[in-house]
Amino acid sequence: MSMRKILLSVLLAAGAFGAVTIPATSSASTPVVVSVRIAPPPLRVEAIPAPRRGYIWVPGFWDWRGHRHVWVRGVWERERRGYIYQPHRWEQRGDGWYLNRGRWDRDGDGIPDRLDRHPNNPYRP
């Protein structure tokens, strides 16, 4: 009888640990591409808080979660000297909409640094 209790305890403990999930993250080298056929709603008007030293304000945006657009409120992002923040934006291509996630760009040319052959040259077309 005691062996049954021990086995049951072990199984319950294993089940409890198995229920814990770790959120999936993507590395900078493999971005997640969001492509949908439903245009995002108009941007919401947000009150921009007073400036904070060492931070920049990242405006809110419409994200795609599940099967619908969901508003994500703006946040403060720690400043990165020598970089320009490119905010989240939706782009229409053909009959689809693609979400370009916000990111830091070294030269402000709009090309992700990982794809840019000259990431420090702001004068390159």
Structure tokens at 73: 């409120």
Per-residue pLDDT of the chain (125 residues; tens, 9 = 90+): 555 655 545 444 444 433 332 333 334 444 567 889 999 999 999 999 999 999 999 999 999 999 999 999 999 999 999 888 999 999 999 999 999 999 988 876 666 666 766 666 656 55
Distances (CA, A) of 75 to 50, 55, 58, 65: 12, 10, 5, 19
Helix (H) or strand (E) holding 99: strand 96-100
* Residue-range domain boundaries for the chain: 34-125
State residue 31's pLDDT score.
57
State residue 110's pLDDT score.
65
Q: Per 3-state DSSP, what percentage of the chain is helix, strand, and coil (rounded to 5)?
A: 15, 30, 55
State residue 33's pLDDT score.
74
State residue 28's pLDDT score.
46
Determine if residue 11 is left, alpha or beta; phi over 0 gives left, psi from -120 to 50 gives alpha, anything else beta: alpha
Buried b (16+ CB within 10 A) or exposed e, 79-117: eeeeeeebbbebeeeeeebebbbebebbbebebbbeebe
User: In 3-state terms, what secondary structure has residue 105?
Assistant: strand
pTM of the model as a whole: 0.62
